[in-house]
A and B are shown apart, each in its own frame.
Chain A
Amino acid sequence: MRPLTWFAVGIYAFLHVPLLILCAFSFNSSRFTIWEGFSLEWYRQMFTDAQLGEAARNSLLIAAASTVLATVIGTLCSYGLWKKQAKWLSGSLYLSLVTPEIISGISLLAFFQWAFRHWQFQLGMHTVILAHVAFSISYVVLVVMARLRTAEPALEEAALDLGANEWQAFWLVTLPMLRPGIMAAALLAFTVSFDDYVITSLVAGVDSETLPMVLYAMARRGANPVVSAISALIFVGFGALILISERLQKT
């Protein structure tokens, strides 16, 4: 093989081997990193752990709610910006995309703390969902905008000429055209929400512990094969989600 091929093989190995090893060892019967034999013990422990179960439910609920909200809001926003540019809004959305997560997190925490002094509410599921919608909107706009740039404005004009009103032109002409983009955006919003630890851990309350928060605590405490099992499941789950969405977009 040529040197370039060798190099690329090395990079692909660097990217994939650590995750594959982790998945493989989640089936190890020993709790230590010496292979002893095949076992599903860690998967059994994972599915029977009450705290993990609740965290997974919270994560799914938060991801589902924030995905729906962020996808709708972000799609409407992209359409509005496509009709007429608003520099400050697209600039702010872009800025929120490049803002380090820790800064988004602490500024939201400071904001919620400040708001608590004026209105009676506390950190919990709702603050986590609000935070996730806030950071997911810019991802949705990024993806849907990319799709809109290739769209043909003349199609809407034709619809308007033929007697459609503006709402119908949007709903019946442009929106169906955007469907693949919207689905890709929703998928991205779901994964960034389901995965987020930094912002979530800062704005979560006692009743809203998410899966990444539990994973983080377990990872810090030391080697734990249950973490490998959860990791393997997340890896396979996301992989399947991506494959399905690519199939759907092709048809």
Chain B
Amino acid sequence: MKHLRAMFLAPSVFFTVVLFLIPLTIIVSYSLRTRGVYGGVVDPWTIENYARLFDPLYGMIMVRSVLMSLAATALCLLAGFPTALFIVRNEKHKSLLLNLIMLPFWTSFLVRTYAWMFLLRDTGLINSALMAMGIIKEPLPLLYNETAVIVGLVYGYLPFAVLPIFSNLERLDKALLEAAADLGAKPWEAMFHVVLPLCAPGLRAAGVLVFIPCLGAYLTPDLLGGGKSIMIGNLIQNQFTTARDWPFGSAISLALMAGVMALLIVLIRRDGEEAL
């Protein structure tokens, strides 16, 4: 068996090592080196790139990314919990309702983002409609701001919030609700004191599953935020293309990776590996 198993694992080991672990190691080594005059990576070794992460100019982008991701995550949980509750209570159409949540997720991410550009831009549907109705004279600046980015993030990652909350709700013992009602709890009291606390693991998993891709988002802030509302992902891309500062771009990437991993480790420590 050993022989067959080794043969089966060999290709994935090769791809994982050569196209994931080695590239990450290169990024680690670049993050500790110096930017060359023409944008290459040269010696000497330094920790200067990490010190620059605390530069207010870049620090601000990182803080803003965290705040925007938190806002998007909070909205996803607020929208996701009642939706999951609705699906659980509709025993008959459960799988249809779940599939409808997942359907946009199966569509191209780029297409979904473009749909919002189509609605929000100056000549977009919302502005055209409002102007045709005579409600406004000048188009409202709906696109290229932080609100547009947050809407795009919620739109993109809402399914990630609904699914874990749904599976948590489905595992709940219905008898607990009946017991709460028998003991005189009103439905909303039972919701707050029984369902919500028991749903905490699902909400935590949903929060992490939404927060992580939001924090690393690139396409959404790029297309819906324009140049002004950039996030960490855009900062990294910028360092590797226009700014040609690979060492600093590597340092930002690793800081982001560290944040993502810390979050996952905290969640797994708390709720176990099955949480995700």
Binding site for B on A (CB under 8 A): 4-5, 7-8, 11-12, 14-16, 18-19, 21-22, 25, 32-34, 72-74, 76-77, 79-81, 83-84, 86, 89, 92-93, 95-96, 98-104, 106-111, 114, 130-131, 133-134, 137, 141, 166-167, 170, 191, 194-195, 197-198, 202, 212, 215-216, 219-220, 223, 227-228, 230-231, 234-235, 238-239, 242
* Complex Cα spacing A5 to B90, Å: 10
Q: Which of B6, B23, B132 has the most CB of A within 10 A?
A: B23
B256 near A103 with CB under 8 A, answer: yes
Q: Which of B20, B101, B237 has the most CB of A within 10 A?
A: B20
A107 near B26 with CB under 8 A, answer: yes
B125 near A76 with CB under 8 A, answer: no
> With a CB–CB cut-off of 8 A, which chain A residues contact B107?
19, 234-235, 238-239
Which of A93, A195, A230 touches B16 (beta carbons < 8 Å)? A93
Binding site for A on B (CB under 8 A): 1, 4-6, 8-9, 11-13, 15-16, 19-24, 26-27, 30, 79, 82-83, 85-87, 89, 100-101, 103-104, 106-119, 121, 123-125, 128, 132, 155, 158, 212-213, 215-219, 223, 233, 236-237, 240, 246, 249-250, 253, 256-257, 260-261, 264
A134 near B108 with CB under 8 A, answer: no
Pull 11 A–B residue pairs with CB atoms less than 8 Å apart, ordered by A: A4-B89, A99-B260, A102-B253, A103-B236, A106-B27, A111-B23, A133-B15, A137-B12, A166-B4, A223-B124, A235-B107
> With a CB–CB cut-off of 8 A, which chain A residues contact B118?
18, 21-22, 25, 33, 223, 228
* Complex Cα spacing A8 to B264, Å: 30
B115 near A21 with CB under 8 A, answer: yes
